[in-house]
Amino acid sequence: MREPARTLIEQATGTRVTASRPLSGGCIGEVYRISAADGRDLVAKVGGPGSGLALEGRMLRHLEAHGAPVPSVLHADDHLLLMTWVDSGDGLGPKVQDHAAHVIAALHDNAGPAFGFEYDTVIGGLHQPNPTTDRWIPFFRDHRLLYMAGEAARAGRLPPAYLRRLEALAAQLDAFLDEPDQPSLLHGDLWTGNVLAHHGRLSGLIDPAIYWGHPEIELAFSTLFGTFNDVFFNRYHELRPIQPGFFETRLDLYNLYPLLVHVRLFGAGYLGGVDRTLRRMGF
């Protein structure tokens, strides 16, 4: 660990760093597991201006205040995000899947005042707009689907023909989507790497992209890279019934958003998924 980072951590904790080792996941900055002289194990993300670490800390604190199992934030600015260590390392086996359903259902039980959020957030390091919106479908259309399609197109990674097809679908979303009973608190980026497990339980959620939205977009995202399976969905359905048509139609439609995030970040390798969904929907 570089000496400036060590100094920042020691100033924030008021104790000496006795050991550190780098961790994976440092796409924004460097990440370390820290052993402190007072016996605590911590995680430190070290960045700089524009790193988004202060925003990440703010989102984690919001989730913790609403009962989600997340690392506790000890310090957060754009130079340093310091959090408690969360034990992990287990796979997402059946016991974890079952427990995760309880955790995510409880998260989604938090009802918000409107769709969007009190501030904009990020997903995969990309800006995620959250203007307050009374209805879900216009929010998803304008600030998720069309927004990210536009960002991918401006970056030269979404061909114009794809953009036109997405715009045609967006104009008819009312035919495919439903309004939820209430806005729910979403983690926003539920892929496997952001779900920590230990001793058969979900031990922590990390790297959030929070907002108030429809729980179905979160459930859909969790299938994109195989995070949650039938054990999870069966238990979640018992706790919060999933409406008919989700698995048949709406799951793929909602996954257009994270697919477009990946198109914007990584390019043409994710266009096939966008194309398949658009064809299935008749566009």
Q: Is the pTM of this model over 0.85?
A: yes
User: Does any domain span residue 255?
Assistant: yes
% the chain with pLDDT above 90: 84
User: Does any domain span residue 208?
Assistant: yes
The pLDDT value recorded for residue 5 is: 79
pLDDT at 25 over 80: no
Which among 189, 230, 252, 275 is annotated as catalytic?
189
Within 8 A by CB and 6+ apart from 196, the residues are 86, 87, 88, 202, 203, 204, 205, 206
Alpha-carbon gap, residue 253 to 140, rounded angstroms: 11
User: Does any domain span residue 266?
Assistant: yes
What range defines the domain where residue 49 resides? Answer: 3-84
Domain boundary among 64, 84, 104: 84
User: What is the pLDDT averaged over residues 161-181?
Assistant: 97
Note if 189 is an active site residue: yes
Residues 268 and 184 in one domain: yes
pLDDT at 6 over 70: yes
The pLDDT value recorded for residue 51 is: 83
CA trace torsion 279, 216, 214, 238 (10° rounding):
160
Residues 184 and 98 in one domain: yes
Within 8 A by CB and 6+ apart from 14, the residues are none
Residues 113 and 42 in one domain: no
User: Does any domain span residue 89?
Assistant: no
Region for 86 from its dihedrals, namely left if φ exceeds 0, alpha if ψ lies in -120 to 50, beta otherwise: beta
Half-sphere exposure of 250 (CA within 13 A, CB side): 22
User: Does any domain span residue 268?
Assistant: yes
Residues 144 and 270 in one domain: yes
Half-sphere exposure of 15 (CA within 13 A, CB side): 14
User: What is the pLDDT averaged over residues 104-110?
Assistant: 98
User: Does any domain span residue 17?
Assistant: yes
CB atoms within 10 A of CB 241: 8
User: What is the pLDDT averaged over residues 49-65?
Assistant: 94
Domain boundary among 35, 58, 84: 84
What CATH code is carried by the domain that includes residue 45? 3.30.200.20
Residues 71 and 100 in one domain: no
Average pLDDT, the chain: 94
pLDDT at 2 over 80: no
Domain boundary among 25, 56, 84: 84
Within 8 A by CB and 6+ apart from 92, the residues are 100, 192, 195, 197, 227, 228
User: What is the pLDDT averaged over residues 227-246?
Assistant: 98
User: Does any domain span residue 124?
Assistant: yes
Q: Which range is least confidently modeled, 46-50, 54-58, 160-164, 275-279?
A: 46-50
Angle at 262 between CA 50 and CA 33, to 5 degrees: 50
Task: Report how many domains make up the chain.
Answer: 2
User: Does any domain span residue 146?
Assistant: yes
Over the stretch 122-160, which tens digit does the pLDDT of each residue have? 998 999 999 999 999 999 999 999 999 999 999 999 999
pLDDT at 29 over 80: no
pLDDT at 3 over 90: no
The pLDDT value recorded for residue 28 is: 60
Residue 38: what residue type? D
Q: Is 237 helix (H, G, I), strand (E, B) or coil?
A: helix
User: What is the pLDDT averaged over residues 171-189?
Assistant: 97
